[in-house]
Amino acid sequence: MTGRLFELFNEKGVLFLDDVILLKLGELVLKGLNRRNFEDRLLRNIRRRLEPYGTFRVSAMQSTVYVEPLSEASDLSGAYEALKTVFGIAGMTLARSCAKTVSAMTETAKTYLNDILTQAKSFKAESRRADKSFPLTSIQLSQQVGGALHDAFPHLAVDVHRPEVTVYLEVRETAAFVHTDPEPGAGGLPAGINGRAVTLLSGGIDSPVSSYMIAKRGIELIPVHFFSYPYTSLEAKEKVLSLARILTRYCGRMTVSIVPFTRIQEEIRKNCPEEYFTLIMRRFMMRIAQNIAEQTSAKALVTGESLGQVASQTMEALRVTEDACEYPVLRPLIGMDKEEIVAIARKIGTFSTSILPYEDCCTVFTPRHPKTKPRLPDVRKAEAALDTGLLIQEALAATERMELKL
């Protein structure tokens, strides 16, 4: 990697590739053991994410990833926006490259950061020297470029403790890079690095957030939606697919399973006591989701449950739901308030779709007096009126699979 970047700069005879994106790696840096693996996966995810924006060279060096446009036609700002959704990136910034001299760095800072420095009240220069053969120390470099910038922008105060703008001067093997403070990236771990999980995706606010949170830990998602046509409309299904499509910004390609749930719900309504409707329905969801997990080598199920939010999310109810499956059930929202969940939904862009007014299959069959402290033996007994295995096989056989791309 290092070699290629170096050659590329040399091929051109000079060191200028102008504007680049610098990405700072996140936890990868800490995870010594699997670092190589993480880095490879991240670079692959970044390359895939950049495809619509033109041709770029993507290379990693010393926990920084360099994204360099290889043609005038490459859309650098589009690429930058797109990279904000790539997990595994802790910080990011646009930067301009230049020759490794004080005068080149000064000139580049003056022109490239002109608007920012004109508007700011205070600044400092900060240098990093990866190229140890560079003749000045970091402090000397900061002083010389900082001094020249102070002359060029006399209204700026130098504030080394709390500057409004920090001008970073990075001297690398290949070139120098000038930029200001990096902004936070998506964080987390590269998608797919930690295996797969089946996520139960309704059209609500919560499950897109729980899906996002698990994906952020490097997990590839297999979304499953239970669809109760005609009790819920085709628009309700489209809404779920729209939510899944928003998640592809973070997760990449996903295959959504749409499981027909009408017959199961009707059978429950016909044969089971009303107070257990929701719980039995949720037990079916867990069993079917586990089946899909087995088929897809997923290792866990994900739900958007939050403790105490509704009758089916008390500790007793969770015990009853969990009893229906053996796989670990990951509930990243379990301790969160609704406002906290909504804040994340807004941040990741799912909120406005989630609040579209299409009914969910749970709301259509909601009992008037659900049991909040159900006992497992009672629920099992109520459920025994159904041919569970057959109903599940029928639902799985009629499951529709839809591949979603970004």
**Regarding beta strands 64-69 and 183-187, do their DSSP bridges make them parallel or antiparallel, or are they unpaired?**
unpaired
In the complex with Mg ion, which residue's Cβ is closer, 131 or 359?
359
Contact partner at residue 303 from Mg ion, ligand ATP, none, CB < 5 to 8 Å by partner kind: ligand ATP
Contact partner at residue 201 from ligand ATP, Mg ion, none, CB < 5 to 8 Å by partner kind: ligand ATP
Contact partner at residue 146 from Mg ion, ligand ATP, none, CB < 5 to 8 Å by partner kind: none
In the complex with ligand ATP, which residue's Cβ is closer, 170 or 322?
322
Query: Counting contacts by CB under 5 A, is residue 360 touching Mg ion?
Result: yes
Minimal distance, residue 318 CB to Mg ion, in Å: 16
Q: Which residue is nearest to Mg ion (CB)?
A: 204
Contact partner at residue 312 from Mg ion, ligand ATP, none, CB < 5 to 8 Å by partner kind: ligand ATP
Contacting Mg ion within 161-220 (CB under 5 A): 202, 204
Angle at 53 between CA 50 and CA 59, to 5 degrees: 40
Could you report how far apart the first and last alpha carbons of the chain are, in Å? 28
Minimal distance, residue 107 CB to ligand ATP, in Å: 54
Minimal distance, residue 318 CB to ligand ATP, in Å: 10
Using CB under 6 A, list all residues that contact ligand ATP: 200-202, 204-207, 224-226, 285, 303-305, 309-310, 312, 360-362
SS3 148: helix
In the complex with ligand ATP, which residue's Cβ is closer, 96 or 282?
282
Distances (CA, A) of 224 to 44, 47, 96, 206: 26, 28, 44, 14
In the complex with Mg ion, which residue's Cβ is closer, 59 or 207?
207
The rounded Cα 226 to chain-centroid distance in angstroms is 24
**Regarding beta strands 122-129 and 183-187, do their DSSP bridges make them parallel or antiparallel, or are they unpaired?**
unpaired
- Residue 218 makes CB contacts below 8 A (sequence gap 6+) with 87, 88, 188, 189, 190, 191, 192, 193, 194
In the complex with ligand ATP, which residue's Cβ is closer, 45 or 306?
306
In the complex with Mg ion, which residue's Cβ is closer, 202 or 290?
202
- Give the per-residue SS3 of 328-367: CEECCCCCCCHHHHHHHHHHHCCHHHHCCCCCCHHHHCCC
Contact of 98 with 16, CB cutoff 8 Å: yes
Contact partner at residue 185 from Mg ion, ligand ATP, none, CB < 5 to 8 Å by partner kind: none
Instruction: List the beta strands (DSSP E) in 191-237.
Output: 196-200, 220-227
In the complex with Mg ion, which residue's Cβ is closer, 188 or 204?
204
Count the Cβ atoms, other than its own, within 10 Å of residue 35. 15
In the complex with ligand ATP, which residue's Cβ is closer, 21 or 222?
222
**Regarding beta strands 400-404 and 254-260, do their DSSP bridges make them parallel or antiparallel, or are they unpaired?**
antiparallel
What's the CA gap between 88 and 105, in Å, rounded? Answer: 30
Minimal distance, residue 285 CB to ligand ATP, in Å: 6
Minimal distance, residue 312 CB to ligand ATP, in Å: 5
Contact partner at residue 304 from ligand ATP, Mg ion, none, CB < 5 to 8 Å by partner kind: ligand ATP
Angle at 330 between CA 358 and CA 186, to 5 degrees: 80
Minimal distance, residue 175 CB to ligand ATP, in Å: 48
Q: Which residue is nearest to ligand ATP (CB)?
A: 204
Minimal distance, residue 261 CB to Mg ion, in Å: 13
- Could you tell me which of 314, 226, 299, 235 has the C-alpha nearest to residue 263? 226
In the complex, the residues that contact Mg ion under the rule CB under 5 A are 202, 204, 360
